Structure 1
Amino acid sequence: MKILLYSLLLCTAQFLTAQTATKEQIISDLPEIEITEGINLHIISPEPIQYVDLSTQKLTGDLPTTNIARIKITDNPDINQKEKIIKPVVFSSRDTVGIITVVGQSFIAQYKAIYRNSENLNTVTNIHIQPENMQPIELDKMVFSNLELRKFAMDIIRKKSEEHPIREKENLQLSMQINNVYVMSDYIFLDMTFKNNSNLSYDIEDLKFSIEDKKIYKATNNQSIEMIPIFQLNPQKHFRKNFRNIYVFKKFTFPNSKVMMIRLIEEQLSGRTIEMKVNYSDILKADTF
């Protein structure tokens, strides 16, 4: 009976390992992407790119934005250092130019770059990294990628929680409210709505978060600690009537002698600024989801 039970447990463990193990990549199995001389290939990632590796000097590239890798065939000819002879690199159709590796926050994707003649008008200029080409990277479970944070934020947006805000402030026909506070692992999500009751649209210069003293006797004694969200769902800088957004912070604490100050500042010359104080008790009441 013990032998049977042990065999059953062993088989189960082997099955689970097979289901969760990351498949090894073989060059011949890599997805192919075509690249042409004189034309940049843009690889678009669903989350910020952490690292790009090009396996050969025949390829060169950069990161014009956090989510896009720009790759091209190197313009410089191959120089024979010993004989000081310049020999242009010549490719034939379907030659392998090199291997492109893109590492995101939670995945690694690899492609085989195949040469395509520039006379072909169907040259690909950009590709999106597809889920089937991503291999997961084992990360600390407490760390979420921007893609995961966006999913959580979208789940919050789908909740209709604007009617009973936990804190609200009005000034100059503007209102700023915290609909709710959520916590997920070591992350705090602020669900906020801004309303403009005037006929003038609002151009956001900045939205500042800081931890400050509750009682400020002298401006020089005020110790203000700026807090920068690690993620926000919508980077919008302009709204006419209503604007709802989710701001994500790594877990923080502050004593009862301090408050979290939120300031919405319009572009210069308008003077329409609104600020709100948030007590730590509001953060402690955060919901989970």
Structure 2
Amino acid sequence: MYIQKTLCALMVGALSIFPSMAQQTYEEMEQLTVNEQVTTVITATEPIRFVDISTDKVVGDQPMNNTIRLKPKDSLYVDGQVLAIVTIVTERYRTQYALLYTTRLQEAVTDKEVQRQEMIPYNNPAVSMSTEEMTRFARQIWNSPAKIRNVSTKQHRMVMRLNNIYSAGDYFFIDYSIENRTNIRFDIDQVRVKLSDKKLSKATNAQVIELNPVMSLEGTKSFKHGYRNVIVLKKMTFPNDKVLTIEMSEKQISGRNILLSIDYEDVLSADSFNAVLLEEE
């Protein structure tokens, strides 16, 4: 995704929701020296939600959710010339850097990590729970014992179980596991979450809605005997004739797949986080 200069009106609107603070000039900002032959990589401590480059003298992109890359367009500048101000907004803070041109390659910044003292606290209205909080909650659930014992499925000598469902803020945390009772390693192709009809007659067209988890705790791509994960979904309601399904498929063309169905009643019974669960590990 290429980062382009944001329209003035959009920038004014975005800045209006930043916390009020003393005015700051580029001379008071952290300054990064840049050169057209060097890519400057800036890494934030959490996902980046918004980036503005104040001029078109610098181009950039966002290869990862917490990383941006910047580079001057050409070499028609003099040492010390301010090319642009870059504004980075994450889930909980914002920071700004003045980009100064240098003709000397050895002076150009190649790698920059956002430091704590550069972070200006920011209450992002689009973020009700930060990725860090979400991950912490999910890890605590992953480490907790299973409270649900009656929701499971068996296929291909594997057992897939629902362990827990918790709610926090605007999200459901769904904890599930798979027991592989074979000696054949399972290489995960994909995990799909859907809303599907409970029962279908032959004359009825299937109505399936695919859901995209906000977060998945485990990035494991393969397991031999056991697998456990916590996925996070935006809170929703759905009719009683629908079920929430989690389907895992194997990479091989003739690979195995296993599907777990969760009734709406189980979703409604989701526990809220309690003080004990939220204690720091």
**TM-score with structure 1 length normalisation?**
0.77
Give the SS at the match of 1:148. helix
After superposition, the Cα gap between the structure-2 partners of 1:32 and 1:253, relative to the gap in structure 1 and judged at 3 Å, is same
Q: Compute the displacement of 1:40 (Å).
A: 0.3
The superposition leaves residues 254-286 of structure 1 with CA deviations (integer Å, 9 ceiling, x where unpaired) of 222222222111123233111121111111221
> What amino acid sits opposite 1:148 in the alignment?
E
State the Cα distance separating 1:69 from its structure 2 match.
0.8
Shift of 1:208: 1.7
The offset of 1:119, in angstroms, is 4.9
**TM-aligned CA distance change 1:98 to 1:272, over 3 Å:** same
Matched, 1:152 2:137: yes
Alpha-carbon distance in 1 for matches of 2:70, 2:126: 32
Question: What is residue 3 of structure 2 aligned with on the other side?
Answer: none
* AA in 2 matched with 1:248: V
Q: Distance in 2 between matches of 1:201 and 1:152?
A: 29
Q: 1-side partners of 2:125 and 2:56: how far apart?
A: 34
Residues 1:214 and 2:198 are matched in the alignment = yes
Map residues 104-115 of structure 1 onto 2, 5 A cutoff.
104-115=90-101
Please tell me whether residue 99 in structure 1 is matched to residue 85 in structure 2: yes
How far 1:123 sits from its partner (Å)? 5.1
Q: Sort the Cα spacing of 1:262 and 1:104 in 2 relative to 1 into closer, same or farther, 3 A.
A: same
1:89 aligns with 2:89: no
Unpaired runs of 5+ residues, structure 1, are 1-20, 78-87
Q: Which is greater in Rg? A: 1
2:104 alignment partner, one of 110, 118, 134: 118
After TM superposition, the structure 1 = structure 2 runs for residues 174-193 of structure 1, keeping only pairs within 5 Å, are 174-193=158-177
Matched, 1:32 2:31: yes
* Aligned-partner Cα distance in 1 for 2:206–2:24: 59
Given that residues 108 and 134 in structure 1 are in contact (C-alpha distance below 8 angstroms), is that contact kept between their aligned partners in structure 2? yes
Q: CA deviation at 1:181?
A: 0.5
SS in structure 1 at match of 2:133: helix
* 1-structure distance, mates of 2:203, 2:131: 37
TM-score computed with the length of structure 2 as normaliser: 0.79
AA matched with 2:116: P
Matches of residues 3-42 of structure 1 in structure 2 within 5 Å?
Answer: 22-27=20-25, 28-42=27-41
Other-structure match for 2:113: 128
Distance in 2, Cα, partners of 1:67 & 1:161: 33
The number of residue pairs the alignment matches comes to 254
- Measured after TM superposition, the shift of residue 182 of structure 1 is 0.7
Counterpart residue type for residue 162 of structure 2: I
- Kept after mapping to 1: 8 A contact 2:148/2:162: no
1:193-221 CA-partner distances (Å, limit 9, x unpaired): 22323222212122122222222212643
The share of aligned pairs that are identical, in percent, is 33
Q: Paired residue for 1:15?
A: none
Residue of structure 2 aligned with 1:285, choices 254, 265, 269: 269
Q: Which moved more, 1:176-185 or 1:27-36?
A: 27-36
Q: CA RMSD in A?
A: 2.6
Q: Conserved in 2, the CA contact under 8 Å of 1:31 and 1:112?
A: yes
Aligned to 2:55: 56
| 1:127–1:244 Cα change, 3 Å | farther
Where does the alignment leave 5 or more consecutive residues of structure 2 unmatched?
Answer: 1-18, 274-281
